[in-house]
Amino acid sequence: VGSGASGRMLLAKGSLDRKLYVAKQIDFQAGNNEAALSYALHEARILFLLRHPRIVHLHDFYPQSSSIFLVLEYCEHGDLAKQIQQRLRDGGMAFDPETAIKWWYQLLDGLDFCHEHGVLHRDLKPSNLLLDSEFDLKLADFGVSSLIHSPPAPERVGSRRYMAPEVVEELKYSTKSDVWSAGIVMMEALTLK
Ligand SMILES: Nc1ncnc2c1ncn2[C@@H]1O[C@H](COP(=O)(O)OP(=O)(O)OP(=O)(O)O)[C@@H](O)[C@H]1O
Ligand SMILES: [Mg+2]
Residue range 2-73 in CATH 3.30.200.20: yes
Atom of ligand 1 nearest to the CA of 56: 1
pLDDT at 42: 93
Q: Where are the domains of the chain?
A: 2-73, 80-191
pLDDT at 27: 86
Residues with CB under 6 A from ligand 1: 1-2, 4-7, 9, 22, 24, 56, 72-75, 78-79, 127-128, 130, 140-141, 143
32: pLDDT strictly greater than 70: no
How sure is the predictor about 28, in pLDDT bands with cuts at 50, 70 and 90? Answer: confident
Q: Residue 1, Cα to own-chain centre: how many angstroms?
A: 15
Answer yes or no: 112 catalytic.
Answer: no
Q: Mean of the per-residue pLDDT values for the chain?
A: 93
73: pLDDT strictly greater than 70: yes
DSSP bridge partners of 79: 130
pLDDT at 137: 98
34: pLDDT strictly greater than 90: no
The residue ranking higher by pLDDT, 151 or 70, is 70
First and final C-alpha spacing in the chain: 25
Atom of ligand 1 nearest to the CA of 9: 12
Q: Active site residue: 123, 132, 136, 178, which one?
A: 123
Q: Which fold has domain 80-191?
A: Transferase(Phosphotransferase); domain 1 (1.10.510)
Which residues lie below 8 Å from residue 117, measured CB to CB, with a gap of 6+? Answer: 49, 50
Counting residues of the chain whose pLDDT is more than 90, the rounded percentage is 80
pLDDT at 31: 64
133: pLDDT strictly greater than 70: yes
List, for residues 144-175, the tens digit of each pLDDT value: 999 998 878 888 889 999 999 999 999 999 99
Q: What is the 3-state secondary structure (H, E, C) of 103-160?
A: HHHHHHHHHHHHHHCCEECCCCCHHHEEECCCCCEEECCCCCCEECCCCCCCCCCCCH
Task: Kindly report the protein residue whose alpha carbon is nearest to atom 21 of ligand 1.
Answer: 4
Overall size of the chain counted in residues? 193
Q: What is the mean pLDDT of residues 70-90?
A: 97
List, for residues 175-185, the tens digit of each pLDDT value: 999 999 999 99
